[in-house]
């Protein structure tokens, strides 16, 4: 009893009732504020969410009309209408597709036929070697760049040598030079088949370089597979087959020739007959007073031609070179071989463009070779 009496004295019902009233008042005020601010709170919460409007047309995938990230009124920028955006995208896509289509059509129009052509090669221990099917169907006819030469109009045939030796220069040659420029592929290329294919895809005809001993030998070494004068016929035949088997798709062979070949005249005559029987053209890269291969080509009615000018540096700013280029321009109907270099390729491109503007036609080497004896 004394304990209960002590608790009653310490506990005041009046103070308890006053405290409960204060607590209920606070909760009631909070609830009322939340109720009154409900719409504002909801709008605020919605404004912090990303929204996306989707049109369901019942025909397939949903069409996304507009996507907008709501960051608050100050961050909002008026979005373009869905129709305008669609038209713009369609226009851009259409332009890109047309551009790609034009590139494909242009590339397809320039591309030469795929090689090798069935019936124009034989398999050997050294790879596929070119052969003629008959007098009409030959590697020269199949792999040359189709071109009808108008000898009544000034023209220049241009061949760039050492193709395939440097990846960077070879890529630039393909990208920068007109497709009527011919390329002379080095057999010492690490990827001869690749470079032949890429050149022909871009419309350039390819000639295969045959390294040969010349009067500056051994200072000028034709390389590990070069053709020599003081060896057996079988030795050179193995080498020339290795050279020819490096790739397929070349219209002919090109070589620096001089009177050194007279030291082994019969051996090289046999090799010349074999090359022409295979249906290949021959391009002599250095002009001599007497040509070793030309009489044989005439006898066999084989395509043959020789270089009139060699350009080591294409630089019209140098007086001597400018004079040489002007002489080439004036000749008309000439064949020029150019040595590639990082400076020569863009300079050659500009020079060829200037020739074309003056009405001088750039023609493939095969067009000149065919006009001579073929």
> Could you please report the per-residue DSSP string of 17-37?
HHHHHHHHHHHHHHHHHHHHT
pLDDT band at 115 (very low <50, low <70, confident <90, very high): very high
Highest averaged pLDDT of the listed ranges 92-96, 106-110, 268-272, 357-361: 268-272
Look at residue 348 and tell me if it is in a domain: yes
pLDDT of residue 66: 32
Tokens describing residue 231: 């060896």
Q: Give the residue with greater pLDDT, 30 vs 318.
A: 318
Segment 84-108 mean pLDDT? 51
pLDDT band at 289 (very low <50, low <70, confident <90, very high): confident
pLDDT of residue 236 exceeding 80, the answer is yes
| Structural contact between residues 109 and 257, judged by C-beta atoms closer than 8 angstroms | no
| Structural contact between residues 252 and 281, judged by C-beta atoms closer than 8 angstroms | yes
Write down the residue that tokens 């760039």 correspond to: 160
pLDDT of residue 71 exceeding 50, the answer is no
Look at residue 303 and tell me if it is in a domain: yes
Alpha carbon distance 302, 282 (integer Å):
8
Angle value at C-alpha 105, between 100 and 108, nearest 5 degrees: 120
CATH number at residue 322: 3.20.20.370
pLDDT of residue 31 exceeding 80, the answer is no
Q: How many helices (H) and strands (E) does the chain have?
A: 13, 13
Alpha carbon distance 122, 212 (integer Å):
24
Look at residue 64 and tell me if it is in a domain: no
Instruction: Collect all residues with Cβ–Cβ distance below 8 Å to 291 and sequence separation of at least 6.
Output: 257, 284, 306
Q: Write down the pTM of the prediction.
A: 0.72
pLDDT of residue 39 exceeding 70, the answer is no
The residue segments making up the domain with residue 143 are 106-373
Model pLDDT for residues 205-218, shown as the tens digit of each residue: 999 999 999 999 99
Model pLDDT for residues 131-166, shown as the tens digit of each residue: 999 999 999 999 999 998 887 889 999 999 999 999
Segment 345-355 mean pLDDT? 93
Look at residue 185 and tell me if it is in a domain: yes
Q: Give the residue with greater pLDDT, 162 vs 64.
A: 162
pLDDT of residue 18 exceeding 70, the answer is no
Specify the length of the chain in residues.
Answer: 374
pLDDT of residue 97: 54
pLDDT of residue 48: 39
Q: Which residues of 258-270 are buried (b: 16+ CB within 10 A; e: fewer)?
A: bebbeebeebbee
Domain count, the chain: 1
Look at residue 58 and tell me if it is in a domain: no
pLDDT of residue 107: 55
H or E element that contains 110:
helix 82-110
pLDDT of residue 313: 87
Residue 303: CB atoms within 10 Å: 28
**Chain CA centroid to CA 104, Å:** 12
| Structural contact between residues 283 and 364, judged by C-beta atoms closer than 8 angstroms | no
Segment 104-119 mean pLDDT? 79
Look at residue 147 and tell me if it is in a domain: yes
Residue 257: CB atoms within 10 Å: 23
């Amino acid at each position: 009893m004394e304990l209960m009496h002590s608790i009653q004295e310490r506990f005041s019902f009046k103070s308890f009732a006053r405290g409960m009233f204060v607590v209920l008042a606070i909760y009631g005020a909070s609830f009322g504020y939340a109720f009154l601010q409900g719409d504002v709170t909801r709008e605020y919460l919605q404004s912090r969410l990303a929204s996306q409007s989707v049109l369901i047309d019942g025909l397939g995938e949903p069409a996304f009309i507009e996507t907008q990230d709501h960051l608050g009124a100050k961050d909002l920028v008026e979005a373009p209408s869905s129709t305008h955006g669609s038209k713009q995208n369609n226009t851009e896509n259409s332009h890109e597709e047309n551009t790609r289509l034009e590139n494909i059509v242009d590339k397809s129009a320039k591309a030469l036929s795929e090689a090798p052509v069935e019936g124009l090669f034989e398999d050997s221990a050294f790879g596929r070697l070119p052969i003629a099917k008959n007098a009409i169907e030959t590697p020269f006819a199949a792999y040359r760049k189709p071109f009808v030469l108008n000898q009544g109009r000034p023209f220049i045939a241009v061949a760039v040598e050492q193709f395939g030796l440097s990846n960077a220069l070879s890529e630039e040659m393909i990208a920068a030079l007109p497709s009527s420029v011919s390329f002379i592929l080095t057999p010492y290329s690490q990827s001869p088949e690749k470079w032949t294919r890429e050149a022909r895809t871009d419309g350039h005809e390819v000639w295969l370089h045959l390294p040969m001993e010349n009067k500056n030998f051994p200072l000028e070494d034709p390389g590990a597979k070069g053709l020599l004068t003081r060896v057996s016929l079988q030795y050179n035949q193995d080498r020339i087959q290795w050279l020819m088997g490096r790739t397929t798709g070349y219209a002919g062979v090109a070589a620096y020739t001089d009177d050194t070949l007279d030291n082994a005249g019969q051996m090289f005559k046999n090799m010349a007959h074999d090359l022409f029987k295979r249906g290949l053209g021959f391009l002599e890269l250095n002009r001599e007073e007497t040509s070793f291969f030309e009489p044989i080509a005439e006898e066999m009615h084989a395509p043959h031609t020789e270089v009139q000018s060699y350009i080591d540096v294409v630089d019209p700013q140098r007086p001597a070179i400018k004079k040489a280029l002007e002489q080439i321009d004036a000749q008309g109907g000439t064949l020029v071989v150019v040595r590639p270099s990082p400076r020569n390729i863009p300079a050659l491109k500009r020079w060829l463009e200037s020739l074309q503007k003056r009405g001088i036609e750039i023609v493939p080497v095969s067009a000149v070779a065919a006009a001579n004896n073929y």
